[in-house]
Amino acid sequence: MNSPIRRLTLALLIGFCLLLANVVYIQAVAADRYRSDHRNARVQLARSERERGVMVDRSGAVLVSSEGQASTFLRTYPFGDLLGHPIGFSSLLFGDRGLEAAYATDLRSKQDLTISNVIAGILGNDLRPANLRLTIDVALQQVAAEALGDQVGAVVAIEPSTGAILAYVSTPGFDPALLIGGEAGPAGDTLDADPAEPLRDRVVNQLYAPGSIFKIVTTAAALESGEITVESTFSNPTALALPGSESTISNADGHTCGSGAEVSLARGFVLSCNTTFAQIAMTLGAGALEAQAEAFGFGSEIPFVFPVAESMFSPVDLADDLPALAQTSIGQRDVRVTPLHMALMVAGIANRGDLMSPYLVSEIIDGDGQIVTTTQPAPWRKASSESTALAITQLMVDAVNSGTGAGARIDGVQVAGKTGTAENPDQAPHAWFVGFAPADQPTIAIAVVVEFGGLAGDEASGGQTAAPIAQKTMERWLKP
Amino acid sequence: MTRNAEGALILAAALMAAFGVALVNIAGQQPIGADVALTFFVMVTAFGALHAAVRRWAPKGTPYLLPLAALLAAVGLSEIYRLNPEMASLQKWWILIGAGLGILTLWGLSSVGTQILRRYRYIMLLLAMGLLVLPLLPQQWPLPIRGLAVNGSRLWVSLDLGFIEMRFQPGEIVKLLMVAFLASFLAERQAALTMRTRKVGPFEFPEPRQMIPILVAWFASFGVMVYQRDLGASLLLFSAFIAMMYAATGRNTYLVVGGGLFTIGAAAAWSAFAHVQTRLEAWLVPFEHYETTGYQISNGIFALASGSLSGTGLGLGRPSLIAFAPTDFIFAAVGEELGLVGSVLILAMYALIISVGMGIALRSRDLFRKLLAAGLTFTFGLQSLLIIGGIVRLFPLTGITLPFMSYGGSSLVANFVLIALLIRISHEERV
């Protein structure tokens, strides 16, 4: 009589052991997989039910906010695609990007579901999300984006003395609103498949040949060497034969560098003569040029809130390859740079040789408007001596006043600048302009790149295509 | 363990329920209010009165069951409060009514003993049959007692008393009555069923005429439940029937025949009921049918997984995303907020109740009490096993309640009576 009851008991208890095994599997072994399943509404709700912090520009204009009330917040982006790249998004389907990702911890409301935060709430701690004040000036950003228009490219404006980023434009942009929410799939896939790559942040994530703006590095190397001054002269051929090869280097217009048999470094810089700089580089040697490029941060990781593609000087040793060295010295061959890096480089010249670490967030502000953290400007590296920087500044002033950079002139303000027209094999050139203003007390440094010549196509040049964009942007900053 | 310890543990369970409600208030950033005190009061009143009744009318009864039931009710009540405070206030009434009926059971049996159930088995059978067909009463007619369809199943009875409309599922009480009937019948005929057998191949069967009443009872109740599409309850009743036959005779024949009948019944249900097919599908591949049939099970799994090891904390998860959370899926809701720790403790409590109940059966000298205790414990245990197993995908989901934790009056009342019966049986064995 008792043994069948014992067996029934055993059967039930074995059943409970199996329950135990299943529960352990679901809640411990496979918990992460199930918990993060995109169909688990908790994942979606965790985003939309909680308020996120606001981001404002340097003068307080709201760039992104959480609209709504308890448990139904919608992230809204009043400027649409203007700030898509720096602000980024926090999306269920497409992950987290930009500042939304980098400052996720600060922007998140602590009125959430963790025990520690509930206890913090009981203790009276502030559970509201923190807010960010960006260094960006939204009006400047707008002018820069409008100046770039429908062309593919980037504009980066920096305050030279601090490294604060004033404008951060990568075109084409995207509206983050399209990528958030559970229904964002098709819109996001369209953006992802667009050949113009609107989701690519060209400011930090696209490498371009710099062309003649690299002559700033070559000039710095020359002046730092002590052997060459701005007055040093070089021969002035129509085309410079490169030793050890049959190739030649010529100037953009195919002519000599101005008139005369000899040409100075200064004149070569102002007219952006390739023949002159090839000779300077070959005089200096590969080592000096490479060292100077490294001083400007080539091959180094830029300390920034987003990962920045590393700019490249040369993948091979150029010591025994003078033709390659000559082409490198004018920003061709294998030299590759990001727009952010070029803005830092020219800001470094403006800041008398000191490169500052770039930053986008100046203050973290709590729910009561009290500043919690203020970003302290931090030097990144010394690129050149003050005298070299000042000398290059003068050359850049001349380039704008009487050379290739005329398109960047602003009435009543002395602009310093350098153009670049980076040749691309079988494609239109990239048009570059880097510069700053006012030349004696710079408050803004800028890098502009128009990918594959933009609307001008094969006819594009740094002076014609990129300089006017820089001019409009800097003018807005200097004469608001 | 002493009676005093039982009382202390009941007090602890009542405090836990109040603490749970307070935690839900804190998590919801509401003031800790009257609900905390009310919950404590209801728990102390219900289980305290039951405890007093045990002291009075079953002083030698086991002290283990009441604290376990109180603790399960405490966890269930806190979670129901978290899901829906209104349901929780109704649940408090049901706890009081259930405890009242438990006390009534103890009082009713105090002088006559459980033997009275043995004597009136056919009355119990008739009562069970009557209750079973109650939900089939017309939904609209002049009498105040009507059938009621909820979620597509005719399992409910509505009792319209004019000032209040009460709803209950007679199936839960039928279960108890049927178990009592079977225990009585099998105890009576045990000798006949085991001695005079016929051999068919390797199997031994009792004389068919010994079986007639029991088969009629079973077919009638089973048929009605299938007709009402209450397949979970049918399965439970069927299993209890087989288990008790097996317990009474010790013959494996019943297990084999039961298994065979179950297979045939399951196959028939599968081909006859579309919702059995979808449930099977939802069990095997819930995530592939996420949008449709697998939704409920998938969300139960998501809830459990989101709770992970330590849970989100009471009031801090999102168990409201689970369909039928307060009733069928209460285990998933608790698992989300109390984590694996909570789930394991709940499983342990059910396993303890099973062990205690079966222990009472094993120690019983009287055959009727032995079978009654075993049958009651088995239905209780199997019901817990089936519904939790449905949530964690050990079995296909059956829409039955989790004893003492799920929201629902009929289930609570029936389980209070069940526990009272077990305590009474253990008392009688020690007198």
Check pLDDT > 60 for residue A159: yes
3-class secondary structure per residue, A76-139:
ECCCHHHHHHHHCEEECCCEEEHHHHHCHHHHECCCCCCHHHHHHHHCCCCCCCCEEEECCCHH
Residue of chain A minimizing CA distance to B354: A9
Kindly state the percentage of chain A with pLDDT values over 90: 62
* A351 or A115, higher pLDDT: A351
- pLDDT at residue B152 in the model: 62
Query: CA separation (Å) from B392 to A218, B300, B314, B400?
Result: 70, 8, 20, 14
3-state DSSP assignment of residue B354: helix
* B251 or A464, higher pLDDT: A464
- pLDDT at residue A38 in the model: 73
Check pLDDT > 90 for residue A7: yes
Check pLDDT > 60 for residue B205: yes
Torsion of CA A83, A86, A87, A91, to 10 degrees: 110
- pLDDT at residue B106 in the model: 95
Inter-residue contact A362 to A134 (CB < 8 Å): yes
Crossing angle of helices A2-24 and B231-249, rounded to 10°: 140
How far does CA B68 lie from the centroid of its chain?
A: 14
The rounded distance, in Å, linking the Cα atoms of A224 and A57 is 39
Q: Which of A209-223, A434-448, B103-117, B183-197 has the lowest mean pLDDT?
A: B183-197
Say whether A23 and B347 touch across the interface (CB within 8 A): yes
Residues with Cβ within 8 Å of residue A433, at least 6 apart in sequence: A213, A405, A407, A408, A417, A418, A419, A420, A446, A447, A448, A462, A463, A466, A467, A469, A470
Kindly state the percentage of chain B with pLDDT values over 70: 93
Q: Which of A243-252, A275-284, B326-335, B351-360 has the lowest mean pLDDT?
A: A243-252
Out of B247, B302, B312, whose CB is closest to A5?
A: B247
Instruction: Indicate the pLDDT class of residue A199, thresholds 50, 70 and 90.
Output: very high
> Which positions in chain A touch B321 (Cβ < 8 Å)?
41-42, 45
Amino acid at B329: F
Residue A337 within a domain: yes
> Which positions in chain B touch A121 (Cβ < 8 Å)?
29
Whether the predicted interface score ipTM is above 0.90: yes
Residues with Cβ within 8 Å of residue A186, at least 6 apart in sequence: none
User: Cα-flanking dihedrals φ and ψ of residue B200, to 5°?
Assistant: -120, 100
Say whether A28 and B340 touch across the interface (CB within 8 A): yes
Residues with Cβ within 8 Å of residue B304, at least 6 apart in sequence: A23, A26, A27, A31, A34, B332, B335, B336, B343, B391, B392
Instruction: Indicate the pLDDT class of residue B18, thresholds 50, 70 and 90.
Output: very high
Residue A431 within a domain: yes
What are the residues of chain A with a beta carbon less than 8 Å away from any beta carbon of chain B?
Answer: 1-6, 8-9, 12-13, 15-16, 18-20, 22-24, 26-28, 30-35, 37, 39-42, 45, 113-115, 118, 121-122
Stretch B302-323: mean pLDDT? 87
**What total number of domains does chain B contain?**
1
The rounded distance, in Å, linking the Cα atoms of A462 and A399 is 12
The rounded distance, in Å, linking the Cα atoms of A305 and A286 is 33
The rounded distance, in Å, linking the Cα atoms of A156 and B195 is 98
Say whether A9 and B247 touch across the interface (CB within 8 A): no
Residue of chain A minimizing CA distance to B322: A41
pLDDT in tens, A11-66: 999 999 999 999 999 998 888 888 877 777 777 676 666 778 899 999 999 999 88
Mean pLDDT of chain B: 87
Residue of chain B minimizing CA distance to A17: B347
Say whether B393 and A113 touch across the interface (CB within 8 A): no
Q: Which of A132-136, B199-203, B339-343 has the lowest mean pLDDT?
A: B199-203
Check pLDDT > 60 for residue B11: yes
The rounded distance, in Å, linking the Cα atoms of B30 and B27 is 8
Going by C-alpha positions, the residue among B385, B379, B247 that lies closest to residue A6 is B247
Kindly state the percentage of chain B with pLDDT values over 90: 45
* B339 or B135, higher pLDDT: B339
Out of A3, A9, A31, whose CB is closest to B305?
A: A31
Say whether B305 and A118 touch across the interface (CB within 8 A): no
Say whether B306 and A42 touch across the interface (CB within 8 A): yes
- pLDDT at residue B332 in the model: 95
Say whether B343 and A23 touch across the interface (CB within 8 A): yes
Across A43-57, B40-54, B254-268, which has the greatest mean pLDDT? B40-54
Residues with Cβ within 8 Å of residue A224, at least 6 apart in sequence: A288, A292, A384, A385, A388
Residue A458 within a domain: yes
* A365 or B150, higher pLDDT: A365
The rounded distance, in Å, linking the Cα atoms of A355 and A340 is 12
Residue A45 within a domain: no
Residue of chain B minimizing CA distance to A15: B385
Q: Which of A80-89, A426-435, B173-182, B231-240 has the lowest mean pLDDT?
A: B231-240
- pLDDT at residue A267 in the model: 92
Tokens representing A440 are 């004696």
Residue A307 within a domain: yes
- pLDDT at residue B164 in the model: 67
The rounded distance, in Å, linking the Cα atoms of A152 and A170 is 8
Instruction: Indicate the pLDDT class of residue A378, thresholds 50, 70 and 90.
Output: very high
Out of B287, B335, B382, whose CB is closest to A27?
A: B335
Say whether A39 and B392 touch across the interface (CB within 8 A): no
Residue of chain A minimizing CA distance to B339: A27
The rounded distance, in Å, linking the Cα atoms of A388 and A230 is 10
Burial readout B55-75 (b: 16 or more C-beta within 10 A, e: otherwise): eebbeebbbbbbbbbbbbbbb
- Assign residue A408 the CATH number of its domain: 3.40.710.10
Going by C-alpha positions, the residue among A426, A468, A431, B357 that lies closest to residue A476 is A468
- pLDDT at residue B382 in the model: 95
Nearest C-alpha of chain A: how many angstroms from B347?
Answer: 7
Best mutation target, B309, B318, B346, to test chain A (most A CBs within 10 A): B318
Residue A349 within a domain: yes
Best mutation target, A2, A7, A12, to test chain B (most B CBs within 10 A): A12
CA angle B112, B236, B287 (to 5 degrees): 150
Nearest C-alpha of chain A: how many angstroms from B200?
Answer: 22
Stretch A180-196: mean pLDDT? 81
Burial readout B34-51 (b: 16 or more C-beta within 10 A, e: otherwise): ebbeebbebbbebbbebb
Nearest C-alpha of chain B: how many angstroms from A12?
Answer: 7
Residue of chain A minimizing CA distance to B331: A23
Mean pLDDT of chain A: 89
CA angle B272, B275, B277 (to 5 degrees): 70
Best mutation target, A2, A5, A34, to test chain B (most B CBs within 10 A): A5
State which H helix or E strand residue A348 sits in: helix A339-350
Best mutation target, B301, B338, B425, to test chain A (most A CBs within 10 A): B301
Check pLDDT > 90 for residue A210: yes
pLDDT in tens, A64-113: 988 876 667 788 899 999 999 999 988 777 778 899 889 988 888 776 55
Across A59-68, A96-105, A404-413, B9-18, which has the greatest mean pLDDT? B9-18
Residue of chain A minimizing CA distance to B313: A115
Residue of chain A minimizing CA distance to B239: A8
- pLDDT at residue A111 in the model: 65
Domain that holds residue B112: 3-430
Residue A64 within a domain: no
Helices and strands (H and E) in chain B: how many: 15, 5
Query: CA separation (Å) from B341 to B304, B352, B385?
Result: 11, 16, 18
The rounded distance, in Å, linking the Cα atoms of B246 and A147 is 89
Stretch B34-60: mean pLDDT? 95
Amino acid at A336: R
Q: Which of A90, A212, A264, A461 is catalytic?
A: A212
Check pLDDT > 90 for residue A368: no
Say whether B308 and A28 touch across the interface (CB within 8 A): yes
Check pLDDT > 80 for residue A233: yes
Check pLDDT > 90 for residue B233: no
Inter-residue contact A344 to A359 (CB < 8 Å): no
Domain that holds residue A353: 205-364+374-478
State which H helix or E strand residue A154 sits in: strand A153-158
Say whether A2 and B301 touch across the interface (CB within 8 A): no
Nearest C-alpha of chain A: how many angstroms from B56?
Answer: 30
Residue A107 within a domain: no
State which H helix or E strand residue B181 sits in: helix B170-195
- Whether omega for the bond prior to residue B403 falls within 30 degrees of 0, making it cis, is no
Say whether B351 and A16 touch across the interface (CB within 8 A): yes
- Can you tell me which residue has the tokens 């178990």? B179
- pLDDT at residue B364 in the model: 92
Count of CB pairs separated by less than 8 Å, A with B: 134
| Residue A212 annotated among the catalytic residues of the structure | yes
Nearest C-alpha of chain B: how many angstroms from A20?
Answer: 7
Say whether B367 and A1 touch across the interface (CB within 8 A): yes
- pLDDT at residue A145 in the model: 96
Amino acid at A478: L
Amino acid at B291: E
pLDDT in tens, A469-479: 999 999 999 98
Nearest C-alpha of chain B: how many angstroms from A129?
Answer: 17
Q: How many CB atoms lie within 10 A of CB A320?
A: 10
pLDDT in tens, A418-465: 999 998 888 999 999 999 999 999 999 999 999 999 998 888 999 999
Check pLDDT > 80 for residue B378: yes
Amino acid at B239: S
**What total number of domains does chain A contain?**
1
Say whether A23 and B344 touch across the interface (CB within 8 A): yes
How far does CA A238 lie from the centroid of its chain?
A: 37
> Which positions in chain B touch A113 (Cβ < 8 Å)?
312-313, 316-317
Nearest C-alpha of chain A: how many angstroms from B249?
Answer: 7
State which H helix or E strand residue B298 sits in: helix B295-307
Residues with Cβ within 8 Å of residue A467, at least 6 apart in sequence: A405, A406, A407, A408, A417, A419, A433, A435, A448
Stretch B128-136: mean pLDDT? 83
> Which positions in chain B touch A8 (Cβ < 8 Å)?
243, 246-247, 358, 374, 378
Query: CA separation (Å) from A203 to A173, A404, B380?
Result: 11, 24, 67
Instruction: Indicate the pLDDT class of residue A307, thresholds 50, 70 and 90.
Output: very high
Instruction: Indicate the pLDDT class of residue B159, thresholds 50, 70 and 90.
Output: confident
Say whether A42 and B321 touch across the interface (CB within 8 A): yes
Instruction: Indicate the pLDDT class of residue A115, thresholds 50, 70 and 90.
Output: low
- pLDDT at residue B163 in the model: 67
